[in-house]
A and B are shown apart, each in its own frame.
Chain A
Amino acid sequence: MQRALIGLYRILPLWLLYGVMALVIPFYILLDGKGRLSSWRFFRRRIGYGRLKSTIHVYLNMFNMGMVVLDRFAAYAGKKFCVEREDNSLYQVYCGRDEGFVILSSHIGNYEMAGYTLLSPKHMNVLVYAGETATVMSNRERMFEGCNVTMVPVSEDMSHLFRLNSALAQGEVASLPADRVFGSSKAVRCSFMGADASFPAGPFTLAHSREVSALAVFCVKTGLKRYKVILHPVAGGSVRELAQAFAKEVENVVRRWPDQWYNFYDFWA
């Protein structure tokens, strides 16, 4: 299925597949009751939209997520995207230091697209979900060739923790998603979008215990074939302070691009 999608992309224009997806999304929304409700509550309670506007944005939210998934396969098929950076110098400043640093990513926009273009002078170790299909993993590896990036799958034997720790000790970059609690149940409650929500303790514990800097990186879709990378330093003297500072950065981005927030569960439970 995924290989067929990549093959289709080589012959069909991007907008055509978006168009087909636009027709499929309503059925997907009907079938995914839990995701639909979480998304609707997010727009209603956290963004403050009315009932009808929230319903429309559930569709836009799902459509945006679909575009991001299709864009990922389009990139695998060789389509080019324009990825601009809000502050190009910040990343270079971090890379110019001897010590390693932690990149905190989130389920906003398309972080993978940022990885293809960061061209890091420091070696980057990106924590990835181990359950991805062989097609996705092999294409990612191909895309990351020449980008100085190694993917580190989450592993039951905790080898990913040893690898990320060693990477930071050697002055490399460790990149982790920091807005979803998985694996360890340890979480930090942070004020986020007007209420308390759980953020995973792991990424902030890694940065704090190794005493390295942290950088929040977001990659949002701004046009048919355009993305924007946004970088912000995340500072704090404790795991809690780091998590709260990151939550604030996530909130700033989510308020600008609420349709690109892809956590389809009750984030504030």
Chain B
Amino acid sequence: MDNLINELKLKIIDSLNLDGMTPEDIDDNAPLFGDDGLGLDSIDVLELIVLMERNYGIRLDSPSKGKEVFRSVAVMAKYIAENRTK
């Protein structure tokens, strides 16, 4: 799981162009959205949806599922581990 979390952080940094950030700068359990965590916004959701689809074969079509999955990197990684098709 640690490897997947690290890989996911690298993909998030790359997809969202979080220049100057490293995986160590992202807390596994910090919220991805809002002021307390990474501070991502609605545009970043698009990138995360495509990231999940392209890299792990997971299609997220419902906002409620997205809200649940995009809580933190740790939650995303757990969901990927359980549902990935590639």
Interface residues of A (CB under 8 A from B): 155, 157-159, 161-162, 165-166, 169, 183-186, 201-202, 205-206, 209-210
Contacts and interface: CB of A to CB of B under 8 A. Distances in A.
Given A162-B66, A166-B61, A169-B59, A210 B50 contact: yes
A7 to B, nearest CB: 38
Interface of B: 15, 41-43, 45-47, 49-50, 53, 59-64, 66-67
A202 B45 CA distance: 10
Contacts of A183: 42
A169 B59 CA distance: 9
A161 B67 contact: no
Contacts of B59: 166, 169
B63 A202 contact: no
Contacts of B46: 161, 165, 202, 205-206, 209
Nearest to A159: B63
Given A158-B45, A184-B42, 19 more contacts: A157-B64, A157-B67, A158-B63, A159-B63, A161-B42, A162-B62, A162-B63, A165-B49, A165-B50, A166-B61, A169-B53, A184-B43, A186-B41, A201-B43, A202-B46, A206-B46, A209-B15, A209-B47, A209-B50
A27 B15 CA distance: 50
A212 to B, nearest CB: 11
B42 A202 contact: yes
B66 A158 contact: yes
The 4 A-B pairs with the shortest beta carbon distances in the complex, nearest first, are A159-B63, A209-B50, A184-B43, A186-B43
Contact of B45 (A161, A169, A185): A161
A214 B49 CA distance: 19
B64 to A, nearest CB: 8
A119 B49 CA distance: 30
Contacts of B50: 165, 209-210
